[in-house]
Amino acid sequence: MENDDVRTEDLPDDLTPFITRTALDHIGGGAFGDVWKCNCNHDANGISAFVAVKAFRLPERYDLETLNRKISREIGILRILRHNNIVPLWGIATGFGRISELRCLVSPWMPNGTLNVYLVSNHNELSPLDRSRMLEDVSAGLRYLHSISIMHGDITRANILIDKGGHARLIDFGLSTITQPLIDQSHLAATSICPGAIRYAAPELVLPDNTREIPVPLEKADIYSFGCIMLQILSGRRPWSEIPSEAFIIVSISQGCGPQRPDGQPTIINSDWKFIQKCLQSGPELRPSADEVLDFVMHRFSSPDPCHGSGPPDDPSDDGPDNDPGASPHGGSNESDTVEQPPGSPPGRESKPSILLKPRISYRHSGSATTHSGTAPNNPDDAPDDDPRSSPYDGSNESDTAEQLPDSPPLHPGREPNPSILLET
């Protein structure tokens, strides 16, 4: 059976008996998780596919039974989702990680890695149309999640994977109820926004307002993150690339500033930048809905703006990949033993499960960060830029440093970041 024909309802909940490890199968790891590339062979249905098995790394104090029950409940809901731009969850498996009884998450293998890896590896080949299609993929996946009351809560370049056909897919949505207890109980509890995610996090999550009477709608935080992703896809640069330090990004956010418009090629045209600014509004209620995001993306080329730039960034090493494509079997885009992807719903036809999930997400910030070994780095920039909590595939430290860009108008004119204000760490 081709993997495009795989349906999760054809698979048992527990895939452990059908999973075999491959040589050098452990392809990533970090403070909260490890990932293995394995084979899944289910003879009864003729299924043979590469899968990614993700195991959470437990703190010293944990309740295995409670955690397993929570994982099974979340997976039971998420398995029934159907969309072309969502990485499906096929089931669970055990026998991986330090605690063999812990239930792990099983998903189809995405051969082209994360969005960041793909953008860097293909920056010379991506046309304006390619970039537009990637935006359509991300916005369609996000609209689908919001339509069934699932808020992602952690949209970053590490939680968007690229499948064999070059299509973007969202992953790790709705799992905050699993990872948050791990954060709360561990020595990494200083910050629940993992390193690298600050660049994509909405102001209300970085600097929560405890005096606010009406809870902040989480879907609006997803829209802010989409604006950051749109900036990166169109420009080839990560958001806040003009500021290398995450500590100073937090200072800038506290001053009401947002990511600046990158210079260089490819360029962001005026109509796109205007919409990005709408997504990056400091007030959540001022941001568009997921429906409005998708509508704008689908009609971008009807704008009278000049043609989109199509060249690579000035310095591709500025936003280097999370993992060197040559060092990780998942980082490169030229892997020969790739798998076909399970089906999603045809465009415009989305199947909606009857169970709605609204995960509770709690973000806090402290100036300290922690490395995989549990020791605090000397400098905030030494922390890994993408963490396994954000991605089931990339576990290595980010090595890129952002190039200082010339001054450009901030999100809120007249409110430039003040570098003289230091964040206590």
* Strands 160-162 vs 104-108: parallel, antiparallel or unpaired: unpaired
Alpha-carbon gap, residue 205 to 237, rounded angstroms: 23
Residue 35: strand, helix, or coil:
strand
Indicate if the alpha-carbon torsion angle 35, 41, 46, 48 is positive or negative: positive
Q: Residue 405 has what DSSP assignment?
A: P
> 3-class secondary structure for 148-201?
CCCCCCCCCCCCEEECCCCCEEECCCCCHHHHHHHHHHCCCCCCCCCCCHHHHC
Indicate if the alpha-carbon torsion angle 13, 171, 350, 284 is positive or negative: positive
Question: CB 293: neighbour CB atoms within 10 A?
Answer: 26
Query: Among 102, 105, 90, which residue's Cα sits nearest to residue 49?
Result: 90
Residue 98: strand, helix, or coil:
coil
Q: Residue 338 has what DSSP assignment?
A: -
Encoding tokens for residue 199?
Answer: 């660049």
Buried b (16+ CB within 10 A) or exposed e, 8-44: beebeeebbebbeeeeeeebbbbbbbbbbbbbbebee
Spell out the alpha helix ranges (H) of 79-114.
none
Radius of gyration of the chain (CA): 20
Known binding residues are 54
Question: CB 385: neighbour CB atoms within 10 A?
Answer: 28
Query: Among 307, 323, 203, which residue's Cα sits nearest to residue 257?
Result: 203
| Residue 266 preceded by cis peptide, ω within 30 | yes
Known binding residues for ATP are 54
Indicate if the alpha-carbon torsion angle 366, 54, 37, 150 is positive or negative: negative
